Structure 1
Amino acid sequence: MKGNRLCAMLGIDRPIIQAPMGWIARSQLASAVSNAGGLGIIETSSGELDAIRGEIAKMRQLTDKPFGVNVAQAFVRDPDIVKFIIGEGVRFVTTSAGDPNRFCGELKAAGLTVFHVVPNLAGALKALEAGVDGLVVEGGEGGGFKNGRDVSSFVLLPLVRSITDKPIVAAGGMLCGRTMAAAFALGADAIQLGTRMVSAEESPVHANWKNAIVAARETDTVFLNRHGRGPALRALRTEKTTRLELEPGGNIMAEFGHALDLYFGGDMEASIALSGQVAGRIDSVRPVKAILDEIMAEYAEVVAGLPR
């Protein structure tokens, strides 16, 4: 996109970034996003660093476009993770689920561009003090692991924009050209897609999960573990997650012990299917390129039609 500073910073054509979802955000999906002009991100939250090394190697075979890696600090405790990423020649990193000071200095000293994921104003201020190059500002309507005191994108984006002029990626509630236009009006430079990418044709998850997203209404997510041990999270409503919503248990992370049975086996009750509220707006499984093409076309149409 001409004139978009984040596109210029990252060397991409479209200001659209794919969320770094554990086990999902690997070369099959991430390369499709990069090849379509956005920025694919490889996850590390699965903790499977040997597999991740292979996925990065596959990315270089599948695309010659830029891509990045996420470090989810709460889930990746390998002290050599930064050396690993630098050694793989990665140029863009998002850090999340932890202190932005932990890795920012070392990554930037090696010449990498670093964004940190923040759920509130305090987190944004801390990340800026750590010296990050930009922020992924994550509203509570998004899927996945959240802050228990969630704030919607419509409130959080302009609040964070009011205290910094650094690039912002809007996450949570982002889906289409209309939400991109709204995010830009609220202060963002790009959008991040999570649930839309889980349901994309190139997503490696089982069809049962994709079909559940397509069938979901806007009210068919639950916000779990708001006051429990470990992170809060937003997920699709199933029998399991409805039970957990009404009867919170101990450590919510224990529910991911059989995650792969859900992710790739299709057993929707085996674990927790993370999803944002935008599931209620997704009505089909589409190829990544078609999704990004439609976003850009609708964005142009929406912006052109706005009253002056």
Structure 2
Amino acid sequence: MFEGNRVVAHTRARYPIFQSPMTWIARAPLVSAVSAAGAFGLLESTSRDLAMTTREFNAIRAATNQPFGVNLPVRYLKDDPKEEKAIIDWLLAQNIHFVTTSAGDPGRYVRTLKDAGVTVYHATATLYGAQKAVDVGVDGLIVEGAESAGVRNPDEVHSFALLQAVREKTTVPLVAAGGIVDGRGMAAAFALGAEGVTMGTRFVASTESPVHLNYKNAIVAAPITGTLMLDNPPRARARGLRTPYAEGVSGGEREPLPPMAILEKLYVGGDVDNTSGAAGESAGLIHEIKSVRDIVEDTVAGFWREIDRLAALRR
């Protein structure tokens, strides 16, 4: 169906659809479900807990024989060189063939990974970052528009412009991230130069997502204006659900909670009002909680419907 697509060739997945490597969320239950559905799951390693990463990795391999990858968040790993070396050595020992890098300079790992036969895609939110990553030898790019959830570059460029700018200046495969929840968004991303898409918020609001049901329901209930950007010192910003807590922090009336407190209160405890879970602007396009398989299959079917609709305009 996607024969000849470079993203499919690199990942060996059936569909050029990635699941974002979201902290705490992108672990065995979600990653294995995504890969089993024919898309491409990515295991997160932001916690720098090698025992946890190993446990989740083994659980994914036990749950599905379909391909998946691992994300390396450069900024978090380089803070501890010993832990950094341990996770790279461990990763190479697992015979994993696909890795994404994010939050930093991929040049730190690219040569080591590629010499071991690993394909490397780098996630970036800027044209400069994209060009720099290509210069150090990455095989592809995940281009994150400012619609995306979580920590963001303060210099916001949304997907419609960013994808075109990166496509104009690079020739590597592009995976679009930000604002995509279905086949219509996937077709739009392809029209702008992408060869694959990444979905995060859509997979958070899935049956297999490990977060509390209240968090999922809050995403479903969010209007198109239902997210808010908050400062994330020292320089970045972060997009999350527009909740009483988020509006209080934005207005200077409440102190921001540390990330681990939000994880405990929201992801585990389901306290929506007194936290703000990561969510992209695409939350306003999500209207129900669905299984991962339904999300993937509906997205692919919707993509081809849009392609057929556009092709009919030439008749």
Q: TM-score range by the shorter chain?
A: over 0.9
Offset at residue 4 of structure 1 (A):
1.5
- Structure 2 partner of 1:134: 140
Output one character per residue of 1:133-165: Cα deviation in whole Å (capped at 9) or x when no partner.
000000000101110111100000010001111
Unmatched runs of 5 consecutive residues or more in structure 1: none
1:300 and 2:301 are equivalent in the alignment: no
Offset at residue 261 of structure 1 (A):
2.5
Worse-matched range after superposition: 43-52 or 110-119: 43-52
CA contact (8 A) 2:122 2:141 kept: yes
Aligned to 1:276, which of 270, 277, 280? 280
Output one character per residue of 1:170-221: Cα deviation in whole Å (capped at 9) or x when no partner.
0001111011110000000100000000001100000000000000001010
State the alpha-carbon separation in 2 of the partners of residues 249 and 122 from structure 1. 35
State the alpha-carbon separation in 1 of the partners of residues 168 and 88 from structure 2. 31
3-state DSSP of counterpart to 2:59: helix
- Structure 2 partner of 1:257: 261
Correspondence 1:7-26 to 2 at 5 A: 7-26=8-27
State the alpha-carbon separation in 1 of the partners of residues 158 and 129 from structure 2. 15
Offset at residue 167 of structure 1 (A):
0.6
- Structure 2 partner of 1:124: 130
Offset at residue 270 of structure 1 (A):
5.2
Give the direction of change, closer, same or farther, for the CA distance of 1:54–1:175 in structure 2 (3 Å limit): same
Worse-matched range after superposition: 165-174 or 99-108: 99-108
- Structure 2 partner of 1:100: 106
Correspondence 1:27-42 to 2 at 5 A: 27-42=28-43
CA contact (8 A) 1:255 1:271 kept: no
Query: Which stretches of structure 1, 4 residues or longer, exceed 6 Å deviation after superposition?
Result: none
Offset at residue 302 of structure 1 (A):
0.7
- Structure 1 partner of 2:192: 186
Worse-matched range after superposition: 27-36 or 84-93: 84-93
Offset at residue 54 of structure 1 (A):
0.5
State the alpha-carbon separation in 2 of the partners of residues 248 and 274 from structure 1. 20
Offset at residue 30 of structure 1 (A):
0.5
The alignment's TM-score, normalised by the length of structure 2, stands at 0.93
3-state DSSP of counterpart to 1:115: strand
3-state DSSP of counterpart to 1:169: strand
Output one character per residue of 1:47-85: Cα deviation in whole Å (capped at 9) or x when no partner.
332111011101111111110001112223422221121
Aligned to 2:118, which of 92, 112, 120? 112
Offset at residue 106 of structure 1 (A):
1.1
3-state DSSP of counterpart to 2:175: strand
Correspondence 1:149-298 to 2 at 5 A: 149-225=155-231, 228-247=233-252, 254-269=258-273, 271-298=275-302
3-state DSSP of counterpart to 1:202: coil
CA contact (8 A) 1:262 1:269 kept: no
CA contact (8 A) 2:10 2:98 kept: no
The alignment's TM-score, normalised by the length of structure 1, stands at 0.95
State the alpha-carbon separation in 2 of the partners of residues 97 and 139 from structure 1. 14
State the alpha-carbon separation in 2 of the partners of residues 238 and 47 from structure 1. 29
State the alpha-carbon separation in 1 of the partners of residues 258 and 214 from structure 2. 22
Give the direction of change, closer, same or farther, for the CA distance of 1:45–1:248 in structure 2 (3 Å limit): farther
Unmatched runs of 5 consecutive residues or more in structure 2: none
State the alpha-carbon separation in 2 of the partners of residues 121 and 109 from structure 1. 26
Q: How many residues are matched?
A: 306
State the alpha-carbon separation in 2 of the partners of residues 263 and 282 from structure 1. 19
State the alpha-carbon separation in 2 of the partners of residues 241 and 256 from structure 1. 16
CA contact (8 A) 2:154 2:235 kept: no
State the alpha-carbon separation in 2 of the partners of residues 131 and 41 from structure 1. 21
3-state DSSP of counterpart to 1:283: coil
CA contact (8 A) 2:43 2:57 kept: yes
Q: State, as a whole percentage, how many aligned pairs show the same letter.
A: 42
Give the direction of change, closer, same or farther, for the CA distance of 1:231–1:95 in structure 2 (3 Å limit): same
The structure that is helix-richer by fraction is: 2
